[in-house]
Each structure stands twice: as C-alpha cells, then as structure tokens.
Amino acid sequence: MMIMQNQMFDAYNEMAQGVFEALRKLGEINMRAGERLLQQQLDLTNTMLEASTKGMELMTKAKGYQELMAGQAKLAQDYGQEWLKGYRGAVEVLAEARDAAAEVMDQQAQAASKNLQAAGETLKKATAKAAA
C-alpha cells in the first residue's frame, strides 16, 4: 500500500511540475509577443508622427490646391502601406504566439494523459494485490 501511495505521489508531483513548466513557457510566449507588439506600436506611432510632419510640410510648400491634393493622396497611399505592413506584422506575432501556446498545451495534454494512464495502471495493480 505504501508503494502505491509513493507512486501516486510521484505521479502527482510530476503532473504539478509539468503544469508549472507549461505555465512558465506560456508566460515567456506572452512576454515575447507583448514586447514585439509594443515595438510595432512604437514604430507605427513614429510613422504617424512622420506622416503628420510631412503633411504639414506639404501644406506650407504646396503651390496650389491641385498640388496639395496630389501630395496628400501620395502621403495617404505611402503611409497606408506602412500601416498595413504594421497590421500584418501584428497578426504574424499573434499567430506565432498562438501556435507556440498550442504546442505547449498539446505537450501538456500528452503528459497528463501519460500520467493518468500510469496512475490507472498503479491502481489496477494495487487493487489486484489487495484482492489476492
């Protein structure tokens, strides 16, 4: 009976360590994703400030309405592409984080299944010994 208790305790301890490790990995994944998203946000903020500066510059240097409208359209197109690139980058970061988290969860589910199976075998053996 004592051996069964030790085996069950060992299985529980292994599961607890696995959960702790999975949570640590998920925390790292979230931290890296957050850092990358923050950097992208800062880059986009810089791009917006640059667009505003160029827009003001255009307003002061344009020689007429047509030139101003053409310049603003060009700015909107150029910076629209930059913002789209930033959006796509953010989607990529989130997709990578999702995939990494899914991998950690799959590994944890496999380990839990293995531990539960081992615990079930231990209980079967103990029940068989007790019945004999």
Contact of 33 with 101, CB cutoff 8 Å = no
Asked if residue 131 belongs to a domain, the reply is no
Number of domains the chain is built from: 1
Within a 10 A sphere around the Cβ of 90, how many other Cβ atoms? 16
What's the pLDDT score for residue 3? 62
Tokens of 43: 């880059």
Asked if residue 92 belongs to a domain, the reply is yes
What's the pLDDT score for residue 1? 55
Residue 59: domain span: 37-119
Average pLDDT of every residue of the chain? 88
pLDDT in tens, 8-66: 777 778 888 888 999 999 999 999 999 999 999 999 999 999 999 999 999 999 899 99
How far is the CA of 12 from the CAs of 54, 74, 83, 103, 119, in angstroms?
63, 63, 49, 22, 9
Asked if residue 97 belongs to a domain, the reply is yes
Asked if residue 104 belongs to a domain, the reply is yes
Asked if residue 113 belongs to a domain, the reply is yes
Asked if residue 132 belongs to a domain, the reply is no
Record the pTM: 0.73
